[in-house]
Amino acid sequence: MLASIRDKKPHVSRNLGGLGHAFSTEIAQQLLFERGLRTPYVRLWRHGEDIGVRGTAKSNGGVDERRVLAGLADPQYVVSEMRAGATLVFQAMSTYCPEVASFCSDLADDIGCPVAANAFLTPPHAQGAPVHYDMASVFIRQLAGSKTWRLHEPPKQWPIRRSKPGDKPETPLAQEVTLHPGDCLYLPRGYYHEGITGDDGSVHITFSDGVEDHWVDVLHDVLDLVAERTESMRGRLPGRSDALSGQSKGIWQTVREDVSRALEDLSDEMISALILRRLQAREQELARSEVVSLAEILAVESKPGEE
């Protein structure tokens, strides 16, 4: 199913159930009040603006270690801003939520590229991010409450540069969809989107496949290789006075001819090796980290409850 729509069309799946063991409002509660997270792992957004996770600096009397670390979330500040409409965001969750990491890992195995997870908790009648598009295709899984998404076609198929938050979509509204608990919206990269809550607030988690390589990345690798072999490519640009006329024009002609010749000379095996290098790097990212015993490294005995 995914293969036929991947990176092409939005798709809504209904009634998939919750992710209870991996993430829930209760787990968010624990993360905020008990885990001591700091930015960028936890953020607060209002209308696309990052408003920080603590108020003005308080004096540190040396007794409260929570005040020592810059960027440490102040749960009381966070909840007061959420009451005023701010969206709480947990980023890069697989680095500190083993259950989410496990879910990401399984999804990565299914779709063949690394998966990142961010969770969004939006109060009623609020909007966290303004309309924007992402470089990653995402699975938006609704866990509690509801959120209405307005989607606009991509300005160009598969953009490779991120637009600024708040940029206006150049394309008409393509679809409006409301997600309820258990629903999942697959959103191809490049689709403009904005999510708005109504009388209910919303908890959703977004799984994204944003660390994939594209052909343009291989082309960059190829050009780096060609530059190693092509003296004219490594030359300094002339002064700005003649831009692409006079001396510049002549040098560019030489560079272009040299590069064309060098590209022609590249064997299929060399291109394959460059592509393979990227695919192997991706496989390494996908591989689960080996768990190593710290006790073994420290040459100490590991006992439950040791001091």
| Residue 194 phi, psi (nearest 5) | -150, 140
Binding mask 9-48 for Fe ion (x = CB under 5 A): ----------------------------------------
In whole angstroms, the minimum distance from the beta carbon of 73 to Fe ion comes to 22
Rounded to whole angstroms, how far apart are CA atoms 11 and 187? 7
When the beta carbons of 41 and 133 are compared against Fe ion, the nearer one is 133
Task: Say if CB 73 and CB 42 are below 8 A apart.
Answer: yes
In whole angstroms, the minimum distance from the beta carbon of 189 to Fe ion comes to 10
Cis peptide before 40 (omega within 30 of 0): yes
When the beta carbons of 82 and 151 are compared against Fe ion, the nearer one is 151
When the beta carbons of 134 and 183 are compared against Fe ion, the nearer one is 134
In whole angstroms, the minimum distance from the beta carbon of 162 to Fe ion comes to 10
Strands 202-208 and 116-122: antiparallel
When the beta carbons of 81 and 134 are compared against Fe ion, the nearer one is 134
Determine the 3-state secondary structure of 200 from DSSP: coil
Rounded to whole angstroms, how far apart are CA atoms 190 and 156? 7
- Residues in 187-216 that interact with Fe ion by CB under 5 A: none
Strand partners, 90: 42, 119
In whole angstroms, the minimum distance from the beta carbon of 129 to Fe ion comes to 6
Q: Which of 279-283's residues contact partners 24+ apart within 8 Å by CB, and which partners?
A: 279/213, 282/113, 282/114, 282/211, 282/212, 282/213
Q: Contact between 134 and Fe ion (CB under 5 A)?
A: yes
DSSP state of 116: E
Q: Which residues contact 242 (CB under 8 A, 6 or more apart)?
A: 248, 249
In whole angstroms, the minimum distance from the beta carbon of 262 to Fe ion comes to 40
When the beta carbons of 134 and 209 are compared against Fe ion, the nearer one is 134
In whole angstroms, the minimum distance from the beta carbon of 192 to Fe ion comes to 9
When the beta carbons of 104 and 259 are compared against Fe ion, the nearer one is 104
Task: Say if CB 194 and CB 48 are below 8 A apart.
Answer: no
* Count of residues that bind Fe ion according to CB under 5 A: 1
Computed over its alpha carbons, how large is the radius of gyration of the chain? Answer: 24
In whole angstroms, the minimum distance from the beta carbon of 159 to Fe ion comes to 13
When the beta carbons of 36 and 210 are compared against Fe ion, the nearer one is 210
Stretch that binds Fe ion, among 7-15, 132-140, 215-223, 266-274 (CB under 5 A): 132-140
Stretch that binds Fe ion, among 1-9, 56-64, 129-137, 267-275 (CB under 5 A): 129-137
When the beta carbons of 184 and 259 are compared against Fe ion, the nearer one is 184
In whole angstroms, the minimum distance from the beta carbon of 89 to Fe ion comes to 11
- Taking alpha carbons only, the member of 3, 1, 6 closest to residue 209 is 6
When the beta carbons of 108 and 138 are compared against Fe ion, the nearer one is 138
In whole angstroms, the minimum distance from the beta carbon of 50 to Fe ion comes to 14
- Taking alpha carbons only, the member of 146, 145, 150, 110 closest to residue 133 is 150
- Residues in 84-103 that interact with Fe ion by CB under 5 A: none
Stretch that binds Fe ion, among 6-14, 133-141, 162-170, 298-306 (CB under 5 A): 133-141
b/e 68-106 (16+ beta carbons within 10 angstroms → b): eeeebbbbebbeebbeebbbbbbbebbeebebbbebbbe
Query: Footprint of Fe ion on this chain (CB under 5 A)?
Result: 134
